[in-house]
Chains A and B, each alone.
Chain A
Amino acid sequence: MSATVTQAGEATSTATHSGPSKHYLNHDTSIKSWLTTVDHKRIGVMYAFTLAFVFLIAGLLAIAVRTELFLPGETIMDKDAYNQVFTLHGVLMTFAFLVPSIPAILGNFVLPIQIGAKDVAFPKLNLASYYIYLLGGLILASALLVGQIDTGWTFYTPYSSDGSTAILVTTLALFIMGFSSILTGINFIVTIHKMRAPGMTWNRMPLFIWGLYATSIVQVLATPVVGITLVLLFLERLMGIGIFDPALGGDPVLFQHFFWFYSHPAVYIMILPAFGVISELIGTFSRQRVYGYKAIALSSVAIALLGFMVWGHHMFVSGQSAISAIIFSLITYLIGIPSGVKVFNWVATMYKGSIWLQTPMLYALTFLFLFTIGGVTGVMVGVLAVDIHLHDTYYVVGHFHYVMMGGTVMALLGGMHYWWPKITGKMYSEFWGRIAIALIFVGFNVTFFTQLILGSQGMPRRYADYVEAYTLMHQISTIGSYILAVGLFVVLFYMIHSLFFGKKASANPWGAATLDFTHTTSPPDPHNFHGTPLVTRGPYDFYLADDVFGRPSQGDGRATGDGAPVVLPTGDGATAAQPAPPKANQPA
């Protein structure tokens, strides 16, 4: 980016107003070109469709669960059906949706563009990851045909060891999906290390990239453990080797250790990319440098590593020794601090900013609110004595929905809105966007805050039926879930609507300062950039915006109807723009 200033010359205005005629979506529209594509952007889009489908199914299952719980006794399904429905909801949401979600959709689409690369390091491997995920998904679907899966998403032994063959098929599916996760992780790590554009130093990387980097480390290191665990389950079932089943001389608690050794880090696989997205949103819409950039970047990596040492906090009352419970509790607090500090950092980012309340920013603010509640309730269940009461109750259910849905899903939705113009080249309806986030915010809190109360009153989780005293809270929670569902459907409808009727998006509708918005068209060229960008400043140096966007009078965003103009480099480091201004070559 040797020249970061452009004048409203022809090249710029073409890019700004009408978009390019040829881009990654329309340069070849055959089905075959999609199915065999190695373009990271197209793979991201394919993940988006697939995961939206999984989220829809798993979400409808959640609605079924809430509907059954509207009244005590049998409401719409019997206990066996209920147990399968909540199991499937959990398995799909965690393994098939949350784990891939942000990295697979937004990571794939945004990562190479944000670091100024043409693609990920191993494009074919990237496509392979997608198909491996799809294969896992199909096997998971076939498990439903084989028999019933009613173990809960945790597959605790020995309940799961004397279950049906369907459980083996399910674990096989998760085993396969694990490889997809590992391969994506490796791909991202190598891409971030080797493919950054000139000038994109580690300290100039957008925080989303840092989040993905930390996530990838966890994916590569933790996923094999769940793979090994599932193999051990297989060996036990098929060859009668006693590992987890006490009838064969195994130890059921050992399974819990294995399971949480993966599944706790998996929580960080789900939340770290969300931290990254939120940093982007809050930085861009506050027009400020993200406060404590280095702290946020490095604490993500620290959390990724510390995340391996806290699995035992899921087992305070499971029969592990008291001394290990105590140590796990202490380390859990250590890992809680960096997450808390991030929240303070994001709030501080808004200080003396210029806060533009567009839909993505509303998601970011919602995230801050919900994730803070998720965090403090996490501290609560980490308290040894209190966890004795709260363990395996609705309090825990409420807590992890605040973190996973209030955290990860809000960040994903915020990110989808933020990059939607970039991905599709269309603007969604800002009006409906606000209606939807309001519904989601209210619905979410009505659904899950009541569950925190239910849990503190002793309502155990995974109950198809409950004692009458809990009826009112369950009914409120169910009504909340309907509001939440309506909100999410509104998002689905206006997003689809925008594909056909949306206003054409400008290249940089938000006035963002990262390469994905400043240096590409909407939608981007098949090769992302026309030339290799040169990076001369940090990702959130909005105060250099005159250099970034052009003359002050041009403004940014849709306030002027245009968005910020874009610099399209034509060759290495050179741009199509006019002579560089004096300040432009100064590193920020």
Chain B
Amino acid sequence: MDALFYFVSWVSLIITVGVVATMFYFVYKYRRRDPNERPAPVKESKLVEISWIVVPTILVLVVFTWGFQGFIKANVAPANAYEIQVKGYKWAWEFTYPTGVTTGVLHVPEGRPVRLVMSSTDVIHSFYVPVFRVKHDVLPNRYTSVWFEATKTGEYDVFCTEYCGTEHSGMITKVVVMEQSEFNQWVLTGGMDNMSPVEIGALLYEQRGCKACHGLDGAAGVGPTFKGLYGAQRNFADGSSAEADENYLRESIIAPNTRVVEGYGPVMPSFAQLSEDEVSGLIAFIKEQE
């Protein structure tokens, strides 16, 4: 695909330089020397006209065919591809592996085709890994997919490229390419074994989208800050109020729009899919933010 990109770039450059150089040459050569100049009309040449229709047509047909082949390749995943489920929501990604583990950072094995089956729980997002040259919109009412085969271990950027609201530009995560053997180990637990609840909470906070809306510095974002949240008095939009204890925090994670704090919109998605350990971890993490 890159070869095609560079091919089109070079041909474009040659054409552009050709056009501009001819233009400058004419501007100089046929510059007006006298206001009374009345140049004779130029006879139109069929040969020239045909050539500048036919040559570009051939060029674009070559480019089309080339791009067509690449497109087909990009659309058909190999049968042995490793499948990962992807969920996009405002404003984070969730990756679920065949082992049942779910993470917010994508981990993939090196040297094996990976197919992502993607859907959205709210608006349209678009999954994009620039270095892998893959992108596809993630839709709320159907599955779409991309596939790739990572060839080098490392960490790469994942962007959302379909505008999805306030934190669109914050809907960024990483794809971590691991050696196959290392990946096989990791995917059993998602790297969450031997972690304290607070560590689990911190990981989820980073990876599952909490940080897009809830800051830790006391400033209000799309949602309230976590700083000093535990134990604070909360006033709700419906006029009632309550203390932010463990049960309130739990409710706000599982069914966030039951009681919405005054001044904020009912925009948070439910995180009912989190396990008990994960919810407890998040609550422990929030408690830490004094």
Contacts and interface: CB of A to CB of B under 8 A. Distances in A.
Interface of A: 79-80, 83, 150-152, 156, 158-159, 162, 246-247, 251-253, 286-289, 291-292, 295, 316-319, 322, 325-326, 329-330, 333, 336-337, 340-341, 343-344, 347-348, 350-357, 365, 368-369, 372-373, 376-377, 379-380, 383-389, 391-393, 456-458, 460-467, 511, 541-543, 545-546, 552-553, 555-557, 559-560
A370 B27 CA distance: 17
A542 B39 contact: yes
A464 B123 CA distance: 18
A245 to B, nearest CB: 9
Interface in B110-139: 122-124, 126, 128, 130-131, 133-137, 139
Contacts of A556: 35-36
Nearest to B136: A317
Contacts of A355: 26-27, 30-32
B23 A288 contact: no
A545 B172 CA distance: 65
Contacts of B64: 329-330, 333, 383-384
Given A385-B71, A555-B36, A369 B128 contact: no
A376 B10 CA distance: 10
Nearest to A86: B163
A457 B128 CA distance: 12
Contacts of B139: 246, 252-253, 319
B237 interface: no
B25 to A, nearest CB: 9
Contacts of B69: 385
Contacts of A457: 130
A508 B97 CA distance: 74
Nearest to B33: A354
A326 B159 CA distance: 26
Given A351-B42, A384-B71, A467-B172, 5 more contacts: A288-B42, A354-B30, A355-B27, A368-B19, A383-B64
A355 B25 CA distance: 11
Interface stretch (B1-9, B177-185, B244-252): B1-9
B161 A391 contact: yes
Given A337-B56, A389-B5, A392-B162, A372 B19 contact: yes
Nearest to A316: B71
B37 A354 contact: yes
Contact of B71 (A295, A336, A388): A388
A292 B167 CA distance: 51
B169 A79 contact: yes
B255 to A, nearest CB: 18
B19 A317 contact: no
Contact of A389 (B19, B133, B167, B169): B133
A158 B124 contact: yes
B128 A458 contact: yes
B141 interface: yes
Nearest to A246: B141
Interface in B50-73: 52-53, 56-57, 60-61, 63-64, 66-73
B74 interface: yes
B140 interface: yes
B122 A158 contact: yes
Contact of A292 (B44, B75, B142, B159): B44
Nearest to A371: B19
B144 A319 contact: yes
Contacts of B71: 316, 322, 325-326, 329, 384-385, 388
A464 B163 contact: no
Contacts of A83: 163, 165-166, 168
A462 B38 contact: no
Nearest to A336: B60
Given A347-B23, A350-B30, A379-B60, A385 B66 contact: yes
B19 to A, nearest CB: 5
A556 B31 CA distance: 15
A312 B4 CA distance: 21
Contacts of A348: 42, 48
19 contacts: A246-B139, A288-B42, A291-B42, A317-B135, A322-B72, A337-B56, A341-B52, A341-B56, A384-B68, A385-B68, A388-B135, A388-B136, A389-B133, A392-B126, A463-B168, A463-B169, A511-B35, A541-B41, A543-B39
Contacts of A337: 53, 56-57, 60
B16 interface: yes
Given A326-B68, A383-B4, A288 B130 contact: no
B150 interface: no
Given A317-B136, A543-B38, A365 B9 contact: no
B31 A373 contact: no
A286 B41 CA distance: 11
Contacts of B206: none
A321 to B, nearest CB: 10
B123 A386 contact: no
B39 to A, nearest CB: 5
B164 interface: yes
Contacts of A365: 23, 27
A510 to B, nearest CB: 11
B130 A458 contact: yes
A460 B127 CA distance: 11
Given A340-B56, A386-B4, A357 B38 contact: no
Nearest to B165: A159
A343 B30 CA distance: 18
A550 to B, nearest CB: 11
A384 to B, nearest CB: 4
B105 interface: no
B193 interface: no
B37 A287 contact: yes
Contact of A347 (B4, B19, B133): B19
B15 interface: yes
B278 to A, nearest CB: 27
Contacts of A351: 26, 30, 42
A292 B41 contact: no
B221 to A, nearest CB: 9
B155 interface: no
Given A317-B126, A553-B36, A252 B141 contact: yes
A319 B168 CA distance: 20
B169 to A, nearest CB: 4
A56 B49 CA distance: 41
A159 B32 contact: no
Of the candidates B42, B164, B167, the one having the most CB atoms from chain A within 10 angstroms of its own CB is B42
B157 interface: yes
Contact of B8 (A150, A295, A317, A379): A379
Contacts of A511: 35
A372 B16 contact: yes
Given A329-B67, A336-B60, A552 B36 contact: yes
A384 B126 CA distance: 17
A107 to B, nearest CB: 27
A376 B75 contact: no
Contacts of B131: 458
A288 B64 CA distance: 36
A287 B38 contact: yes
Contacts of B42: 288-289, 291, 348, 351-352
Contacts of B161: 391-393, 460-461
B169 A372 contact: no
B92 interface: no
A568 B205 CA distance: 79
A386 B67 contact: yes
Contacts of A330: 64
Going nearest first, the 7 A-B pairs with the smallest beta carbon separation are A458-B130, A385-B70, A376-B12, A384-B71, A246-B141, A383-B67, A559-B35
Contacts of B33: 354
Given A83-B165, A336-B60, A460 B136 contact: no
